Amino acid sequence: MASDTFRFKQFCIQQRHAPFKVGTDSILLGAWTETASARKILDIGTGTGLLALMLAQRTTASIQAIEFNEEAAQNAAFNFEHSPWKDRLQLIRADVNAHFANKSEVFDRIISNPPYFLNSVPANNQNVRAARHADSSGHRFLIDRAIQLLSRNGHLSIILPTAEGEQFSKLAIKEGLSLQRKTVVRTRPDLPSKRLLLQFGKQPTPQIEYELSIMQKEGSEYSSEYLKLTDEFYL
């Protein structure tokens, strides 16, 4: 069972009421997201606030984190208040569509660890099922929000299982976004792809593609590339 508190080098995550505990996906995304020149960041579906806190540590940006689930939002509020960057973090307890419906605000970065399992059996727990289960309309929703809320040179960064990530990419490109950066994530170098880290923007750019293995091929040690990527955060 996951601990109620997960400790990083510069902050802690209280996750007692969260549908999802701290996991590798969010840590990968928060460490991988390109942050240069970012002044305003939006974290959609912040959960415990982990991604917002990781980007607060990596930048001097103003960060808005939006979360609809009341229990998760309680955790995020606590985590923000007890972090070194509470003055730059704003928690919004709302539906993202309703909150931004009549606003012209734009962001340099949008980050999200979105619902997934398009082709999988939903979880039994109701809160987990609500947080995880998605269909193509959920992907379209995130793409539409990126088109609406990204600045001209802004980026959307997400992580998805490989199959869902490929579907998301096709839909995003069809809707006019450019796939600018992609990292194929494997548990080990000899295993099939597990996740895709994806960066989209409004400006067409040559796509950059990498591969990343979390573990070494032999044994149970983390790979040097994964340790280098996450070194700012893990104790």
In a domain, 233, yes or no: no
Residue 183 counted as domain residue: no
pTM over 0.85: yes
Query: Which pLDDT does position 7 carry in this prediction?
Result: 96
Give the distance, in angstroms, between the CA of residue 231 and the centroid of all CA atoms in the same chain: 18
- 71 within domain boundaries: yes
Q: What does the alpha-carbon distance between residue 160 and residue 98 come to, in Å, rounded to a whole number?
A: 25
**185 is a domain residue:** no
Q: How many domains does the chain have?
A: 1
- Domain span holding position 111: 9-23+33-178
28-81: per-residue pLDDT in tens? 999 999 999 999 999 999 999 999 999 999 999 999 999 998 988 999 999 999
Which has more pLDDT, 83 or 136? Answer: 83
Q: Is the pLDDT of residue 118 over 60?
A: no
- Is residue 123, in this structure, part of any structural domain at all? yes
Q: Decide if 28 contacts 195 (C-beta within 8 A).
A: yes
Residue-level pLDDT at 131 = 42
* Digit-coded pLDDT (tens) for 120-153: 334 444 544 444 444 556 788 899 999 999 999 9
Which residues partner with 49 through β-bridges? none
Average per-residue pLDDT in the chain?
89
What is the pairing mode between strands 150-161 and 107-112? Answer: parallel
